Each structure stands twice: as C-alpha cells, then as structure tokens.
Copies of this chain bind each other. A is one copy, B any other.
Amino acid sequence: MSLKGIQVIDLTRIISGPFCTQLLADFGADVIKIETPSGDPLRQQGRGRNGLSWYFAGYNRNKMSVALDLRSKEGLEVLRDMIRGADVLVENYRAGVLSKMGLSDAALEELNPKLLVCHISGFGADGPYAQRPSFDFIAQAMSGFMSVNGNRDDDPLRSGLPVSDLVAGLYAALGISATLANSTREERRFQSVDVGLTDSLISLLSYMASDTLAAGSPPERSGNDHPLVAPYGLFQTTDKPIAIAPSNDMIYARLLKVLGREDLLNDPRFDTNEKRMADRAAIRAEIEPIFLTDSCAAWIERLNEGGVPAGPVMSVPDVFRDPQVQHREMVVDVPHGEHGNVRMLGFPVKVKPDGCEMRRPAPELGEHGDAVLRALGYSDERIAELHASGVLAGKAETESGV
C-alpha cells in the first residue's frame, strides 16, 4: 500500500528532482539522496536558521543522504551497487549526462532488470533541443506560459513561482507512481520515465491550447480578467480588494442578488456573457461602487452565503496565519536536532488511513553513507577506506535504520 518499502536512489539537486523525490518520500518511499561531496547547492541557498537552509530542509525531508564522489571509479562502483538493489532511480542531469557516466538506460537495465529510471530535464530526453541547458525561466518562456501571463498591454510575464520545475517534479512523481501501481515487485520489468520542464508546462495550457488549435488564433493576456467570463476579477472594498469568480450565468445571477442589483439580470446590455465580455468596463462600473460600501470580510461572508465564490488576496504570511490553512496543516513544525524546529509546508494530498508522514528531517550531508553501505554488505574496513580516499564524504553515521 502506497510507496512503503520502495527504495529510490535520488541523483537530483536544486528543485524539480528533489520535489519529485520529496513527494515519493512523503508517500513512504525510502529515498537515498546521493550528493556530491560538496552537497546539493540548495544547502547554501535561501534563508535559514542555526546553519540550516529552510529551502533545503523542505525539499529534502524524509530522505537519507549519501555523499559520494561520482567522478571517481570507486564512487561510481558504489552507485552501481546501490542501483542493483533499488526499485527506482531519479535523476535531473542534463539529457545524456547519465549515459556518459556509463549508466544509459540499456546499462541500467542490465544492472537491474526491474529498475524504474526517471529522467527529468529541461526539454526532455530526446529531440533537437535535448542537449540545450535549461532552467525554469526558459521553460516558462518556451512553453507559452509567459505569453498568457500578465496584463494586456505589458510584456509577457514569468510566474512568481518556479512552476515548470514544480509541475515537472509532480509529473515525474506521478509517472513513477502510476508505473509502480497495480503490481508487485515480482511482476515488474525495466521502465524508463522521461519528463521535460517545457512539456510539463505545455500540458497545462488547457483551453488556451484547445481554443488556439480549434480557432487558429493565439490567446491574449488578460491580466486579472478571465478570458472567457465577465464580470470576474478584483474589486475594491472599503479595506482591501476582493476576488470574485462568477463563472457562469447561474452564479452571475446569484452575485446580482447578493449585490441587490437583480435589475441588471434582464438589462439588454448585460444579459449574456458575450455582451458582458464585450464591455467589461460597463458591467464593472455598475457593480464596483456597491463593493465600496462594505469590508472585504463582510462581502465574502455575504457572497459565500449566496453561493458566489469570493475571497481575499492573501500575502504569503496571511496564508500561513489563515485558520483553514492551519486546520489543513499546510504549515508544520519539524524538529531538526541542533538546528531547532523548522516550519515548512505540509502535505498537499491527504490520505486516510495510510497518509503521508513526517518520518525524518532533511539529512545532514552524507549522514546515512555508512549505514547505506553497510546494508549493501560493505565491511567497516572498506567503508573506512572509502572515507579515507574521499570517495565517501560527510559525517559518519550513528543511526542504524536504513
């Protein structure tokens, strides 16, 4: 049930890969993060406390760490030993790098005929751009995402979040889980999962894609207006703006009722969504003054009671203080030993009874190296040699459970 007992060798760093393996680890997989002797660069990024990056801590919870010099022949041999016994291998090197390390799909299949390998890269594993370097921003630009994000008369705009990294990480976790679904280890055979950042964002183009393909004309940026519905968007109240989303005629009618403007229902200027879209400013001019008569919170209560989706625009600190967010445990405290308590995002998927669990904090660099190698049958002498030669880095392990 779930991913308990699935062993994942994790060759990823920064965001997209680590987010994928964080999701797998949250669902119960045993994720062994392989780091270079200098560690995942994320350890040095973002704000931290007591010598720990909270950015790193979030994306690497529930994982173990082995610090291994994969540029050495011996380091690669240790990796191959690990892969032999694993269920899944995840990597987000640039396309082709793993092959150059002698770990092409064919070589991996020979090493472990039941392995599932997952490749995450900017443009995917093949095609004319496969070898190009990429990052989230490039995927946002080349997927069409930026072309539909932003205000009508402004430049195309990146998302404030690294959405292509995150969505690619999510797709990778889905691809792995779906491929592992519905089978036991005995029934498995070698599989290769390949996810690209650009492909991932393209797959979210939704009606922007289908309308473009059906009509041939490109979608427009529409800022906070919905491209298919009016009225819709932010409206000023006595204190702060309110977001309202009456997405069809039924909810539009409810909105007018709550606003006391049912007279508009049959107004020939506004009696279809098409007419309201054609002159968004006119319908806005009719209803905006009414919002200015009360506070955002008062309107939300009234609108929700009347069946109209509405909410405030919340800052990130607002979000973490919100009673619903707290009830849903979307922020949690995780003890990290000498680094103290770390507050981090909770689990977005709630499963009962076999839910996600916080089993261990993000690892120190190389914390589990000794234990992982011992579990592979390496002798204490051999482990000491690997430490001495710098192939195995990081502090020696005290915990024994792997």
Contacts and interface: CB of A to CB of B under 8 A. Distances in A.
Interface in A285-330: 304, 307-320, 322-325, 327-328, 330
Interface string A133-162: 111111011111111111100111111111
Contacts of A344: 209-210, 213
Interface in A1-55: 1-6, 15, 23-24, 27, 41, 45-49, 53-55
Contacts of A319: 142-144, 202, 205
A353 interface: yes
Contacts of A110: none
28 contacts: A3-B181, A23-B178, A27-B178, A47-B211, A47-B215, A124-B324, A128-B323, A133-B304, A134-B311, A135-B247, A137-B244, A138-B245, A145-B160, A147-B315, A150-B157, A151-B157, A160-B221, A161-B204, A167-B170, A173-B178, A175-B349, A177-B178, A180-B181, A198-B325, A202-B330, A202-B345, A210-B345, A218-B317
A155 B154 CA distance: 13
Nearest to A306: B133
A69 to B, nearest CB: 19
Interface stretch (A226-234, A371-379, A387-395): A226-234
A256 interface: no
Contacts of A45: 207, 228
A361 interface: no
Nearest to A212: B316
A183 B175 CA distance: 16
A224 B155 contact: yes
B54 A213 contact: yes
A283 B157 CA distance: 21
Q: How many copies does the complex hold?
A: 2
B181 A6 contact: yes
A243 B158 CA distance: 10
B345 A203 contact: yes
A351 B5 contact: no
Interface centre among A4, A156, A350 (most CB of B within 10 A): A350
Contact of A226 (B46, B128, B137, B157): B137
A115 to B, nearest CB: 13
A272 interface: no
B174 A128 contact: no
Contacts of A142: 243, 311-314, 319, 322
A398 interface: no
A178 B25 CA distance: 11
A312 B137 CA distance: 11
A223 interface: yes
A46 to B, nearest CB: 5
A348 interface: yes
Given A1-B182, A24-B178, A209-B345, 10 more contacts: A15-B206, A130-B324, A133-B304, A151-B157, A161-B205, A161-B206, A171-B349, A182-B184, A210-B345, A214-B343
